[in-house]
Amino acid sequence: MSGAPPSDADFPAAGRRVAIVAARFNEVVVSALLQGAVSAWCRRGGEERDLFIARVPGAFELPVVARRLAASGRYEAIVALGCVIRGDTPHFEYVAGECARGLQQASCDTGVPIAFGVLTLENIEQARARAGADCGNKGAEAMASALEMAHLMARLPR
């Protein structure tokens, strides 16, 4: 592969088994991330009906559902989507940190890639920028990462 970034055609979705787990907290932002992930899947030749989408209350609940999906043996990759915005209390650090740790642990324990599409931000403006405005859509990027990892894992020895 050259030094050029991968294109949509490099890691097609057709024939892949991918699930998305998305938080409902900060719904406006996460819905945009989810839309970006589904659009990226379809742009790469996937059918929307082939995606399994699970919704959870918030980012803190993402790891347990992602782990269950990964351990099921049904999926080659999982996309985790959420949004945690810093407030005036240390709650942000606990939720964001444990979400990231839990998703990483679930991925390592199951051997199934879990793409981290969880925004951890200072304010809603940053969230909007990363969910489809100035900085692209991080949900679409997470789907691209999941598909690339699914292709790579399929080529690696067991």
Q: Is the model more confident about 132 or about 135?
A: 132
Among 5-14, 17-26, 58-67, whose mean pLDDT is lowest? 5-14
Q: Determine, yes or no, domain membership for 143.
A: yes
pTM: 0.92
pLDDT value for 1: 47
* CATH number of residue 52's parent domain: 3.40.50.960
Q: Determine, yes or no, domain membership for 59.
A: yes
Is residue 132's pLDDT more than 90?
no
Residue-number span of the structural domain to which 105 is assigned: 26-152
Q: How many domains does the chain have?
A: 1
Of all residues in the chain, what percent carry a pLDDT higher than 90? 77
Positive or negative CA dihedral for 66, 72, 74, 76? positive
* Catalytic residue check, 91: yes
Q: Determine, yes or no, domain membership for 6.
A: no
Write down the catalytic residue from 64, 91, 105, 111.
91
Written as six digits, the tokens of 114 are 């879990």
